[in-house]
């Protein structure tokens, strides 16, 4: 069997038709999510479905601020992020609401992946191959998950841009014309601007190009030019400088071909020196180190904080089938794609330049699922090639087309099933958003809203305020005060709320916004946080003067993660080895009344007549029993009974159908007192918003 396929002669019109069909296919698959959830009214805001990725609210905040032309200093709004700039620009020219724009951007932009794939196929004389690969890649699990409707994030272009870069490299390798050099620089420069972390992939592509030249065609002058234009694209310089340099060198080569040979290596050396002078491989080392050496604690001034990496465990070994399905939709498709890829690279050697993407995708086996997305396109090419290779012996053209179509559909099917099942909810619900919207109306852009970091970006987007922590700022030291405020009694919470806000703002001026706890301890000459609290309670005037309003945002949804929230401040900062036993918290919605007992799952039950709790084999007295619920006028009613001086507290939240079993630590926490019981100290807090989904209090100190 001949490995190279006979060249297809397909005219430009047909290529465009292929692109149109593949693009509409990718789009329509991204409409399934919309059709399936559009009936759910709690997913709407401003007459549009809301987005389904938390980080999206970060970029949306930036775009909103770019459009409004103003934002507050140090509000962390990303007004220079490329995706925010693109969104703001699009919203000026596309006549849809901002909400609709950010909802559909990932679908419309992510589906562009089909274009470079079909064009790569065409460059090899195999447009059908590109077409089949485009269909498969556009909806393969991991690519779909991160470019689905509502997944408003940088992912919408992080694969499209390098594929365009690869397409132009392939064009330049195949046709060896100077004119393909400029788009190489432009796509690399755009990719690096859009996604600065792409520096390593880009450098890997450069190394691949140089190795390719050394191994197969070391006397080919044009190949060195390709490498040169890649380097220009990835220099750590502003994008317009890189494009200007590329244009200048291109004109030089083009209009003075004689000088090209003479001066090329001098130019090459100069650009190479600039590459090393402006960063070289240092950023790559930085990234590698971050992956290889996972710090478990973030320390400053001898304080040991609890790090997020200990709770967010995306990385780690993943089962092979999951890995394969993420890349190709099904293990069999993936295995065929691997074989096809090897054969395709043998048949079409220039495809070797896609190796860095394969490598990065396969890193997922040890570095975490997020990397699989890179291998999607090369593996789709592999599958498409194998399919065309196997069917090339079918002589009747129409029969071969049908066979190719059938097998392509079979490969697409598991991906389609995945899309049908992948019903991601929106980040927040309408009720919660209307609370945040109201909060935005009563607050000021300089005010702080304190909550857990998971809600930071949406709070900032909907309420336009500042936050202590968010999806990008949540290391152990900045999480500490947020955790402390939510889990401590109100007196301590109020003091820490004022301190952390004022110290955070002051920290921006002194560039020490990450050392706020150590600064507090130093300023108050305190040895520990407990010490600090005693100092301030004895001398309340020593609390910093309020420069702005501070609000506590307490959502129902935080209850599920409340024990995790606690981890960040329930620790000994000075002595990490001294690990205190974590306080007791149990929440359940599985409730079964058997008459004599109430079964609460996980071997926990209430023995009614003895008024005790059975946790495993242990019998624990019930200290207090609280029934809390809204009456018909939506007024909170609390009934409480006390049985013992020691033991656990049982809270039945009747309106939510939930039981909580907590020790005194949790019972007294600001969150449980103020959210569950509406108990607040009027000297410290003032309620400003209250509904069953979220409660907001304003700090009075
Ligand atoms: Mg702002």
Shared-domain flag, residues 399 and 456: no
280: left (phi over 0), alpha (psi -120 to 50) or beta: left
Q: Say how many Å lie between the CA of residue 103 and the centre of ligand 1.
A: 21
Work out the average pLDDT over 460-486: 95
Q: Say how many Å lie between the CA of residue 53 and the centre of ligand 1.
A: 20
**Lowest-confidence range among 308-322, 385-399, 567-581?**
308-322
Alpha-helical regions (H) of 94-125: 98-110, 114-123
Domain contains 94: yes
pLDDT band at 368 (very low <50, low <70, confident <90, very high): confident
Residue percentage of the chain with pLDDT more than 70:
96
Summarize pLDDT for 601-617 with one digit per residue, the tens.
999 999 998 889 999 99
Domain contains 2: no
The residue among 364, 389, 421 that closes a domain is 421
Give the dihedral of Cα atoms 104, 108, 113, 114; nearest 10 deg.
140
Shared-domain flag, residues 496 and 607: no
Shared-domain flag, residues 595 and 552: no
Shared-domain flag, residues 417 and 434: no
Q: Say how many Å lie between the CA of residue 509 and the centre of ligand 1.
A: 17
For residue 113, give both structure tokens.
């992946």
Given a cut of 60, is residue 385 above it in pLDDT?
A: yes
Given a cut of 60, is residue 495 above it in pLDDT?
A: yes
Summarize pLDDT for 156-183 with one digit per residue, the tens.
999 999 999 999 999 999 999 999 999 9
The residue among 536, 567, 598 that closes a domain is 567
Work out the average pLDDT over 677-683: 97
Look at residue 123 in the predicted model and tell me its pLDDT. 96
For residue 640, give both structure tokens.
């409480």
Look at residue 261 in the predicted model and tell me its pLDDT. 76
Q: Say how many Å lie between the CA of residue 73 and the centre of ligand 1.
A: 8
Shared-domain flag, residues 417 and 439: no
Look at residue 317 in the predicted model and tell me its pLDDT. 66
Work out the average pLDDT over 574-583: 86
Given a cut of 90, is residue 2 above it in pLDDT?
A: no
pLDDT band at 297 (very low <50, low <70, confident <90, very high): very low
Contact 602, 619 (CB under 8 A): no
Rounded to whole angstroms, how far apart are CA atoms 516 and 493? Answer: 16
For residue 166, give both structure tokens.
């690869």
Shared-domain flag, residues 333 and 465: no
**Lowest-confidence range among 58-62, 309-313, 488-492?**
309-313
Q: Say how many Å lie between the CA of residue 437 and the centre of ligand 1.
A: 14
Domain contains 612: yes
Domain contains 101: yes
Shared-domain flag, residues 390 and 458: no
The CATH code of the domain that includes 471 is 3.40.1380.40
Max Cα distance, the chain (Å): 100
Domain contains 457: yes
Q: Say how many Å lie between the CA of residue 439 and the centre of ligand 1.
A: 13
Work out the average pLDDT over 297-318: 62
pLDDT band at 312 (very low <50, low <70, confident <90, very high): very low
Q: What's the pTM? A: 0.92
| Average pLDDT taken over every residue of the chain | 93
Shared-domain flag, residues 470 and 614: no
Summarize pLDDT for 59-103 with one digit per residue, the tens.
999 999 999 999 999 999 999 999 999 999 999 999 999 999 999
Q: Say how many Å lie between the CA of residue 62 and the centre of ligand 1.
A: 9
Q: CA of 13: how far to CAs of 17, 25, 107, in Å?
A: 6, 18, 25
Given a cut of 70, is residue 316 above it in pLDDT?
A: no
Domain that holds residue 669: 585-699
Domain contains 580: no
Q: Say how many Å lie between the CA of residue 191 and the centre of ligand 1.
A: 28
Q: Say how many Å lie between the CA of residue 41 and the centre of ligand 1.
A: 28
Given a cut of 70, is residue 241 above it in pLDDT?
A: yes
Shared-domain flag, residues 265 and 242: yes
Rounded to whole angstroms, how far apart are CA atoms 385 and 452? Answer: 49
Q: Say how many Å lie between the CA of residue 39 and the centre of ligand 1.
A: 33
**What is the DSSP secondary-structure string of 602-656?**
TTEEEETTTTEEEETTEEEEEEEEEEEEE-TTS-EEEEEEE--SSSEEEEEETTT
Domain contains 614: yes
The residue among 380, 399, 421 that closes a domain is 421
pLDDT band at 364 (very low <50, low <70, confident <90, very high): confident
Domain contains 416: yes
Q: Could you tell me the sign of the dihedral formed by the alpha carbons of 298, 301, 302, 305, in that order?
A: negative
Shared-domain flag, residues 519 and 548: yes
With vertex at residue 230, the alpha carbon angle to CA 224 and CA 234, rounded to the nearest 5 degrees, is 145
Q: What is the 3-state secondary structure (H, E, C) of 607-620?
A: ECCCCEEEECCEEE
Work out the average pLDDT over 467-483: 93
Contact 167, 120 (CB under 8 A): yes
Work out the average pLDDT over 442-457: 97
Look at residue 193 in the predicted model and tell me its pLDDT. 96
Shared-domain flag, residues 554 and 519: yes
Look at residue 1 in the predicted model and tell me its pLDDT. 66
Look at residue 296 in the predicted model and tell me its pLDDT. 45
Shared-domain flag, residues 415 and 443: no
Summarize pLDDT for 622-654 with one digit per residue, the tens.
999 999 999 999 999 999 999 999 999 999 999
Tally of domains in the chain: 3
Contact 122, 139 (CB under 8 A): no
Q: Say how many Å lie between the CA of residue 69 and the centre of ligand 1.
A: 11
């Amino acid at each position: 069997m001949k490995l190279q396929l006979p060249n297809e002669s397909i005219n430009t019109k047909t290529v465009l038709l292929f692109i149109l069909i593949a693009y509409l296919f990718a789009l329509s698959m991204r409409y399934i999510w919309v059709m399936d959830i559009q009936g759910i009214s709690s997913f709407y805001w401003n007459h549009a479905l809301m987005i389904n990725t938390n980080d999206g609210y970060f970029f949306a905040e930036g775009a909103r601020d770019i459009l409004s032309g103003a934002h507050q200093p140090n509000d962390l709004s990303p007004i220079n992020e490329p995706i925010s700039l693109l969104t703001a620009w699009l919203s000026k020219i596309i006549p849809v609401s901002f909400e609709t724009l950010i909802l559909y951007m990932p679908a419309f932009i992510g589906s562009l992946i089909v274009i470079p794939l079909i064009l790569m196929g065409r460059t090899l004389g195999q447009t059908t191959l590109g077409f089949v690969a485009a269909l498969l890649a556009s909806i393969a699990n991991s690519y779909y998950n991160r470019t689905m409707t509502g997944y408003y994030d940088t992912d919408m272009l992080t694969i499209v841009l390098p594929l365009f870069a690869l397409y132009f490299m392939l064009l330049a390798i195949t046709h060896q014309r100077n004119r393909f050099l400029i788009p190489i620089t432009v796509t690399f420069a755009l990719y690096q601007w859009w996604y600065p972390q792409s520096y390593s992939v880009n450098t890997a592509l450069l190394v691949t190009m140089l190795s390719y030249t050394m191994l197969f065609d070391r006397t080919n002058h044009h190949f060195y030019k390709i490498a040169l234009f890649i380097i220009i694209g990835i220099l750590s310089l502003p994008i317009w400088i890189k494009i200007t340099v590329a244009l200048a060198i291109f004109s030089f080569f083009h209009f003075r071909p004689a000088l090209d040979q003479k001066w090329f290596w001098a130019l090459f050396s100069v650009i190479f020196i600039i590459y090393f002078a402006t960063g070289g491989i240092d950023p790559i080392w930085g990234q590698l180190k971050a992956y290889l050496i996972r710090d478990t604690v973030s320390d400053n001034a001898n304080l040991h904080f609890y790090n997020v990496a200990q709770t967010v465990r995306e990385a780690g070994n993943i089962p092979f089938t999951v890995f394969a399905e993420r890349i190709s939709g099904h293990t069999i498709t993936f295995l065929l794609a691997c074989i096809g890829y090897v054969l395709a690279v043998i048949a079409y050697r220039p495809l070797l330049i896609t190796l860095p993407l394969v490598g990065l995708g396969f890193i997922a086996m040890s570095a975490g699922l997020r990397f699989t997305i890179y291998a999607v396109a090369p593996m789709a090419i592999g599958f498409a090639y194998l399919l065309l290779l196997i069917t090339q012996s079918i002589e009747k053209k129409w029969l071969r087309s049908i066979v190719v179509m059938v097998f392509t559909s079979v490969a697409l099917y598991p991906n389609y099933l995945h899309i049908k099942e992948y019903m991601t909810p929106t980040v927040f619900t309408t009720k919660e958003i209307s609370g945040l919207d109201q909060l935005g109306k009563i607050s000021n852009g300089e005010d702080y809203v304190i909550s857990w970091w998971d809600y930071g970006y949406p709070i900032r987007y909907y309420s336009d305020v500042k936050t202590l922590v968010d999806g990008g700022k949540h290391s152990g030291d900045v999480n500490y005060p947020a955790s402390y405020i939510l889990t401590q009694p109100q007196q301590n919470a109020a003091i820490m709320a004022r301190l952390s806000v004022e110290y955070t703002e002051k920290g921006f001026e002194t560039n020490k916004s990450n050392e706020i706890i150590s600064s507090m301890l130093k300023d108050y000459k305190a040895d520990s946080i407990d010490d600090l609290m005693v100092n301030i309670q004895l001398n309340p005037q020593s609390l910093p003067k309020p420069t702005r309003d501070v609000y506590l945002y307490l959502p129902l949804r935080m209850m599920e993660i409340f024990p995790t929230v606690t981890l960040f401040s329930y620790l000994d900062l000075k002595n990490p080895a001294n690990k205190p036993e974590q306080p007791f918290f149990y929440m359940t919605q599985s409730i079964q009344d058997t008459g004599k007992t109430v079964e609460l799952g996980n071997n926990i039950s209430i023995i009614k007549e003895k008024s005790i709790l059975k946790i495993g084999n242990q019998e624990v007295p019930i200290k207090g029993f609280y029934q809390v619920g809204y009456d018909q006028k939506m007024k909170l009613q609390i009934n409480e009974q006390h049985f013992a001086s020691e033991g656990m507290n049982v809270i039945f939240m009747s309106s939510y159908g939930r039981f909580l079993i907590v020790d005194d630590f949790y019972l007294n926490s600001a969150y449980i007192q103020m959210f569950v019981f509406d108990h607040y100290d009027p000297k410290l807090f003032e309620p400003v918003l209250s509904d069953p989904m979220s409660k907001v209090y304003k700090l009075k100190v």
